[in-house]
Amino acid sequence: MKMISMLMCGAILAGVAAGTGPSTAAGATVGTSAKRTVSLVGPPLVMRLNSDEFRIAFGIDGKQCMPGGCSGSILYRVQWKTADGTAGSDSRRVNYKISPHSGRTIAVDRQYLDTAEGAHTTRVVNVNVDKITCQEDALTNGT
């Protein structure tokens, strides 16, 4: 997991979307059949916006979904800790859609991680992907 500024985010996410980003999977792969498989192109990218607000981005490789596209969701857990020692864990779901003929996409989720609405500086300790769902996109297949 990497923490970067918003200035670096655009360049990194542009690389993921263009296929020049990290090429190693983050260990989470799922498919509804041998034909439909998606995986993460790398570990989730964590971007700090202020003391307790974050964006978490997932680069998704779905070349097996081409040419029709697919959609699904990523179930993940964020472990965090505040400056005063309070620790927490939140489970979240973010949806994604791989457009026809693209083979890759990104999904970005917003997180506010604190117990006192911005009173503490929070840091993300870990992001674990628990499950990725994938299904053929009915709208792109004319059904």
* pLDDT-derived band at 104, boundaries 50, 70, 90: very high
Hey, what's the torsion of the CAs at 70, 110, 27, 31, to 10 degrees?
-20
pLDDT at 138: 57
Least confident of 3-12, 19-28, 37-46: 19-28
**Selecting from 1.10.3210, 1.10.760, 2.60.40, 2.40.40, what CATH number does the domain 2-141 have?**
2.60.40
E strands within 5-103? 29-31, 37-40, 45-48, 53-61, 70-82, 87-98
Backbone φ and ψ for 34, nearest 5 degrees, come out as -65, -20
Residue 18 pLDDT exceeds 60: no
Contacts of residue 62, defined as CB under 8 A and 6 or more positions apart, other chains included, come to 37, 38, 69, 70, 98, 102, 103, 104, 105, 134
Q: What is the pLDDT of residue 139?
A: 52
Q: Does residue 61 register a pLDDT over 50?
A: yes
The predicted model scores a pTM of 0.72
pLDDT in tens, 82-103: 888 889 999 999 999 999 988 8
Residue 71 has pLDDT above 90, yes or no: yes
- Confidence tier at 72 by pLDDT (50, 70, 90): very high
Residue 118: the pLDDT is 64
The pLDDT-based confidence of 16 (bands split at 50, 70, 90) is: very low
Q: Where are the domains of the chain?
A: 2-141
